[in-house]
Amino acid sequence: MRKKFLIVLLFFISFLNADIVSTKVLYSYENNKFLNIDNVINKPELFKEFQLKKPLSFGYDAKHNIFVKLILKNNSDTTLHRVFVSKNPLVSKVVYYDNTAQKLETQGFLQKLENKSIYSSFPISLNPYEEKIYYISFESPLTTLIINLDMMDKKYYENWYFKNILYIALFFGGMLALCIYNLFVYFATKDKAYLFYTLCILATTFHHSAYTGILFLFANIEYTTLTFKYSAIIVSLPMYFLGVFSKYYLETKNFSKINTTINIFLITIPLSWVFFIVFPEYSKFRNLLSFIFLFYLLSIAIYLAYKKVQQSYYVIAGWFLFFLSGIFMMLSSSGAYDIFIHYPHIVEFLLFTEAILFSIALSNRIRSLQNQVITLKNKREQELKTEVEEKTKKLSKSLKEKQLLLKELNHRVKNNMQMILSLIRLQSKESNTKELTTALLTIEGRISALGHLHELLYRQDNVLSIKAEDYFELLIDDLVRSYDTTSQNITFNFNLKGSLFASHAIYCGLIINELITNSLKHAFDNIEGEITIFFEEQKENFVLKYSDNGIGYEPIEKSESLGMLIVTTLAQVQLEGDLNIDSTNGTNITLVWNKDLKNE
Tens digits of residue pLDDT in 505-514: 878 888 888 8
Res 46: pLDDT: 79
- Give the pLDDT band (50/70/90) at residue 9: very low
Within a 13 Å sphere around the CA of 354, how many CA atoms are in the beta-carbon half? Answer: 24
Does the structure show a pLDDT above 50 at 177?
Answer: yes
Rounded to whole angstroms, the Cα distance separating 557 from 143 reads: 123
Rounded to whole angstroms, the Cα distance separating 198 from 76 reads: 56
Q: What is the mean pLDDT of residues 135-151?
A: 84
Rounded to whole angstroms, the Cα distance separating 275 from 476 reads: 107
Does the structure show a pLDDT above 70 at 14?
Answer: no
Res 430: pLDDT: 63
CA 559 remoteness from chain centre: 76
Rounded to whole angstroms, the Cα distance separating 201 from 182 reads: 10
Residue 378: C-alpha distances to residues 42, 137, 381 (Å): 86, 72, 5
Burial class for 344, CB neighbours closer than 10 Å (0-12, 13-18, 19+) = middle
CA torsion angle 187 190 194 199 (round to 10): 70
What is the H or E stretch that residue 438 is in?
Answer: helix 434-459
What ranges in 212-255 are assigned the alpha helix state H?
Answer: 215-218, 221-229, 231-249
Range list of β-strands (E), 425-464: none
Q: Among residues 144, 231, 250, which one has the least CA distance to residue 193?
A: 250
For the chain, give the mean pLDDT. 79
Does the structure show a pLDDT above 70 at 112?
Answer: yes
Lowest mean pLDDT among 103-107, 288-292, 438-442: 438-442
Size of the chain, expressed as the number of residues it contains: 600
Q: What is the mean pLDDT of residues 373-378?
A: 81
Res 15: pLDDT: 37
The model's pTM: 0.60
Specify whether the CB–CB gap between 273 and 332 falls below 8 A. no
Res 431: pLDDT: 66
End-to-end CA distance of the chain: 117
DSSP secondary structure string for all residues of 53-71: TS-EE--S--S--EEEEEE
Does the structure show a pLDDT above 80 at 170?
Answer: yes
Rounded to whole angstroms, the Cα distance separating 465 from 468 reads: 9
Does the structure show a pLDDT above 80 at 367?
Answer: no
Specify whether the CB–CB gap between 232 and 283 falls below 8 A. yes
| pLDDT tens, position by position, 418-457 | 777 676 666 666 666 766 666 666 776 667 666 666 666 6
Q: What is the mean pLDDT of residues 370-386?
A: 82
| pLDDT tens, position by position, 519-540 | 877 777 766 788 888 988 888 8
Kind of pairing between the strands at 578-582 and 465-467: unpaired
Does the structure show a pLDDT above 50 at 24?
Answer: yes
| pLDDT tens, position by position, 35-74 | 888 888 888 877 888 777 777 877 765 578 888 888 889 8
**All domains of the chain in start order, with CATH:** 20-159 (2.60.40.2380), 171-381 (no CATH), 398-599 (3.30.565.10)
Q: What is the mean pLDDT of residues 332-357?
A: 78
Kind of pairing between the strands at 80-86 and 93-98: unpaired
